[in-house]
């Protein structure tokens, strides 16, 4: 992209971020407003021409990012042989999370994923649908659907070629009250090498609790390696 177009792209990106904050915050504004730090490390390996194995570890620190309250491990297999614009996969995720009493509880969460990719208005766009079964230790088991749309701007910033992106993810419980959580992302990704990718992002998460919406602000980093 010509450098003369860079200010226009930056203004566009900042405008989207501002609109996201303006439109989302009033709808979901609630209590808590905790600041958190999330750290993710992942790896993938090609098993064949169309099959890829993935593994991910994530740690979340809450209460102004001072203590660890959440950890998950996720193992999956992705198939890319149906179409260039479609990938499907099956994952198993094991979660350990501290509850309000200070006890650590486990959750087994298998999930199915289908991701569509393409271009729209010059942006690289993906739409991931996820159906997951939440097998929880002390709470009722449940089905949940998640949809995440990501748009990446066609620009690379700084010498390490940071690419801005925005994403919106909604969570729907398939039992009881449906719409329960919303996430808005704004971040940058880069390829350090052909095999190593990194991300840094801001996340606003709004979760419904009774009649209220509780918000958290997250600074997240992610590092992924392809073998």
pLDDT tens profile 163-204: 999 999 999 999 876 888 999 999 999 999 999 999 999 999
pLDDT of amino acid 8? 43
CATH, residue 23: 2.40.128
Please list, residue by residue across 178-202, b when 16 or more beta carbons sit within 10 angstroms of its beta carbon and e when fewer do: eebbbbbbbbbbbeeeeeebebebe
pLDDT of amino acid 209? 80
* Inter-residue contact 110 to 133 (CB < 8 Å): yes
**Measured on CA atoms in the order 182, 204, 213, 24, is the torsion positive or negative?**
negative
pLDDT of amino acid 26? 45
Q: What is the mean pLDDT of each run of 10 residues along the chain (227 residues)?
A: 44 48 47 88 96 98 95 98 96 96 95 95 94 95 96 90 95 85 96 94 92 92 96
Q: Residue 15 half-sphere exposure, CB side, CA atoms within 13 Å?
A: 7
Question: What is the extent of the structural domain holding 60?
Answer: 3-226
Q: How far apart, in Å, are the Cα atoms of 175 and each of 104, 133, 153, 179, 218?
A: 25, 11, 36, 10, 28
Distance CA 150, CA 35 (A): 23
Distance CA 191, CA 173 (A): 35
pLDDT of amino acid 9? 46
> Could you give the 3-state DSSP secondary structure of residue 39?
strand
- Tell me how many domains the chain contains: 1
User: pTM for this structure?
Assistant: 0.83
Percentage of the chain with pLDDT > 90? 72
pLDDT of amino acid 32? 72
């Amino acid at each position: 992209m010509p450098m003369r177009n860079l200010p226009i792209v930056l203004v566009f990106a900042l405008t989207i971020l501002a609109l996201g904050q303006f439109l989302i915050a009033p709808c979901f504004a609630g209590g808590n407003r905790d600041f958190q730090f999330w750290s993710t490390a992942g790896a993938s390996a090609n098993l064949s021409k169309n099959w890829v194995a993935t593994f991910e570890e994530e740690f979340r620190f809450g209460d102004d990012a001072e203590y660890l309250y959440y950890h998950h491990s996720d193992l999956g297999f992705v198939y890319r042989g149906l179409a260039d614009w479609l990938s499907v996969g099956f994952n198993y995720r094991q979660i350990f999370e501290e509850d309000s009493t200070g006890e650590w509880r486990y959750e087994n969460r298998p999930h199915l994923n289908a991701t569509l990719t393409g271009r729209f208005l010059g942006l690289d766009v993906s739409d991931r649908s996820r159906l997951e079964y939440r097998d929880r230790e002390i709470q009722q088991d449940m089905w949940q659907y998640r949809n995440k749309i990501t748009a990446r701007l066609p620009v690379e910033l700084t010498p390490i070629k940071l690419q801005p992106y925005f994403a919106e993810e909604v969570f729907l419980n398939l039992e009881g009250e449906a719409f329960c959580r919303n996430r808005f992302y704004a971040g940058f990704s880069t390829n350090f090498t052909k095999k190593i990718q990194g991300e840094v992002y801001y996340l606003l998460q709004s979760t419904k609790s009774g009649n209220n919406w509780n918000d958290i602000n997250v600074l997240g980093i992610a590092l992924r390696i392809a073998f």
